[in-house]
Amino acid sequence: MRKNLIAANWKMYKTSAEVAAFTREFLPLVAANKRDEIVLASPAIWLKELNAQLAGSNVSASAETMDFHKEGAFTGEISPVMLVDAGIRYVLIGHSERRQYFNETDDSVNQKLKAAIAYKLTPIVCIGELLSEREAGKTADVLRRQVAGALKDVSASDAATLVIAYEPVWAIGTGKTATPEMAEEAHQIVRAELAKALGQPAADATRILYGGSVKPDNVDSLMAQPDIDGALVGGASLDPKSFARIVNYLA
């Protein structure tokens, strides 16, 4: 019922030439995949050219962040209107690096989510606990707070395209993956909170991705979990062969 979604997050990596080399090698490796939705989140400066390279393929481009204003005196920021104008249909919101280094909060995530909905962008909202929070037994509380905060004043019909990415912060870029069982448990907590905020049908329809050191050698067991509906992949998405193997996970 839920179409799985596999997304790359290139973060602040790749030159223009590297983006072109990636798509040249990657697109043929995933062209036969009709099973999954495939997304590449790229630095904003390459989004237009990436989109042109992806035209006619089964792969879409995503922004890694955006501002929530339509326009204004916000030096350096990019608005949802600009993303739509560039033909972009997806945006990551509230990645833990944005929360950690750029002061994003549950409140700004909520404002960005509402802006994405208003401009018909598919939002991929990132949540996840810190190591200290997990060790203190607070994982469920943190996930509930982040989901409830993101969805404040958002209705089930608004959330029709919503995607959540559960990314335990201690697993991002560390090589430490949550076990499939740990991830499944967190995804069930997230889905229950989605049901509280949006109702059960909307919660059942929402894709929940796992992120945090997803690699070709652990993706199959993660994707086998019933509540894991895809992956958000950093390091292992930079190489076309590695990311293609992740996209073509064995079901």
Member of 64, 67, 129, 167 binding ligand PGA (CB under 6 A): 167
Query: Cα-Cα-Cα-Cα dihedral of 170, 76, 109, 246, to 10°?
Result: -50
Q: Does 64 bind ligand PGA (CB under 6 A)?
A: no
135 belongs to the catalytic site: no
Q: Which residue type occupies 111?
A: Q
Shorter beta-carbon distance to ligand PGA: residue 69 or 221: 221
Member of 80, 128, 230, 234 binding ligand PGA (CB under 6 A): 234
State the catalytic residue, choosing from 129, 133, 167, 193: 167
Shorter beta-carbon distance to ligand PGA: residue 72 or 175: 175
Alpha carbon distance 157, 149 (integer Å): 17
Is the sign of the CA dihedral 144, 146, 160, 191 positive or negative? Answer: negative
Evaluate whether 39 touches 61 at the Cβ level (below 8 Å). Answer: yes
Residue 159 DSSP class: G
Chain-centroid distance of CA 236 in Å reads 15
State the catalytic residue, choosing from 37, 64, 95, 129: 95
Helical axes 139-150 vs 180-198, angle rounded to 10°: 40
Only one of the segments 18-26, 56-64, 220-228, 234-242 lies at the binding site for ligand PGA (rule: CB under 6 A); that segment is 234-242
181 belongs to the catalytic site: no
Closest distance of CB 238 from ligand PGA, Å: 9
Q: Does 173 bind ligand PGA (CB under 6 A)?
A: yes
Three-state SS across 71-90?
CCCCCCCCCHHHHHHCCCCE
Alpha carbon distance 229, 211 (integer Å): 11
Only one of the segments 14-22, 55-63, 184-192, 229-237 lies at the binding site for ligand PGA (rule: CB under 6 A); that segment is 229-237
Member of 39, 151, 214, 222 binding ligand PGA (CB under 6 A): 214
Q: Does 9 bind ligand PGA (CB under 6 A)?
A: yes
Shorter beta-carbon distance to ligand PGA: residue 56 or 175: 175
Alpha carbon distance 134, 157 (integer Å): 32
Give catalytic residue positions: 95, 167
Which residues sit at the interface with ligand PGA, rule CB under 6 A? Answer: 9, 167, 172-173, 211-214, 232-236
